[in-house]
Amino acid sequence: MEQVAAEVIVVSTQVNKKKDRVIFYNDKDFAFPELEDDFKALWRNVSVDHLDEKKIEEYLQKKGLDAMKDLTPKVRMPTQLKRKAAKRRMNQKVQNEHMDGVLEDYE
């Protein structure tokens, strides 16, 4: 990255609490034409304050665009923890077999 730092533009982003970097190639030979003032005025006059992200996404999908597909917050359903099954003992002898005849009951 250090070798191509002069040729790229790095933009820091944060999506879903995950800090990422987006890297764009900056071609010095490409001359972007100057935008007309009418286009700039139209762009700045468009208001989307009354729209939430869901409505904007629906509008884009109707127009065939899916630009916001990866930006929607991912909702994870809480998973229920599986409990470990209790270990059941088989019918076991209370006394050890090798001690048979040595142990006595005192009642």
Helix (H) or strand (E) run with residue 25 in it: strand 18-25
Neighbours of 60 (CB within 10 A): 14
Q: How do residues 53-72 score in pLDDT, each as one tens digit?
A: 788 888 888 888 776 555 55
Q: What is the residue-averaged pLDDT of the chain?
A: 78
Residue spans of the domains in the chain: they are 33-72
Chunked into runs of 10 residues, the chain (107 residues) has average pLDDT values of: 83 79 84 86 85 82 72 68 75 67 73
- How far is the C-alpha of 45 from the C-alpha of 49, rounded, in Å? 12
